[in-house]
Structure formats: C-alpha cells, structure tokens
Amino acid sequence: MEFLSLDSDEKKVLLEALGYSVDSEGYVRDPNGGVHLCPYTNGKVKFENASILPGSTVIINTSAFTLSEYVTEYLEDDKCSA
C-alpha cells in the first residue's frame, strides 16, 4: 500500500473526477449533493482534512484514528483473500 500526497488543486480535480465537490464552507459534497460523512467517524469531511484512500473511492477525515482503522481493515481484507 502506498500513500501519495496531492496538492489542493490535484486533490480537488480527483474529487471532482469521482463525482464529489467542495462547497463554499469547505465541506466535501457527495455525488448526490449531501455533505460527505467519514465512514469511520461519521463526521463531516472538510476539504483541508480529506484523504482519498488508495485503491478506492473512500474519502475520510485524515487522522491517526481513521488511518489506523483503514489499515486494520485493509490488512484484515487482505488476509481473507489470501
């Protein structure tokens, strides 16, 4: 698993390519127009804190907690497919 760092313009282009947008308050909006919620925290995702997880379209609030949850889930899924 490799994490890449994108600048704000690149991250915005990628979000838009996935059908997401950023509202005037800086929140990520899902393709249906609702404020996107982090699947790990259920909190609203601010653009400045958003991460798009590798190999997916999962968008999270970036924190040590959410990254550890993702890595744990990723490793568990990898064990199941082995």
- All residue ranges of the chain with pLDDT < 70 are 1-3, 77-82
Question: Does residue 42 fall inside a structural domain?
Answer: yes
Question: Does residue 2 fall inside a structural domain?
Answer: no
Question: Does residue 49 fall inside a structural domain?
Answer: yes
Rounded CA-CA distance 22/26 in Å is 6
Question: Does residue 73 fall inside a structural domain?
Answer: yes
pLDDT of residue 73: 82
Tokens describing residue 80: 């199941």
Question: Does residue 58 fall inside a structural domain?
Answer: yes
Evaluated on CA atoms 51, 53, 57, 63, the torsion sign reads negative
Question: Does residue 43 fall inside a structural domain?
Answer: yes
Query: What is the pTM assigned to this prediction?
Result: 0.79
Number of domains in the chain: 1
Question: Does residue 1 fall inside a structural domain?
Answer: no
| Structural domain containing residue 36 | 8-81
Question: Does residue 3 fall inside a structural domain?
Answer: no
Residue 19, Cβ density class (10 Å: 0-12 exposed, 13-18 middle, ≥19 buried): exposed
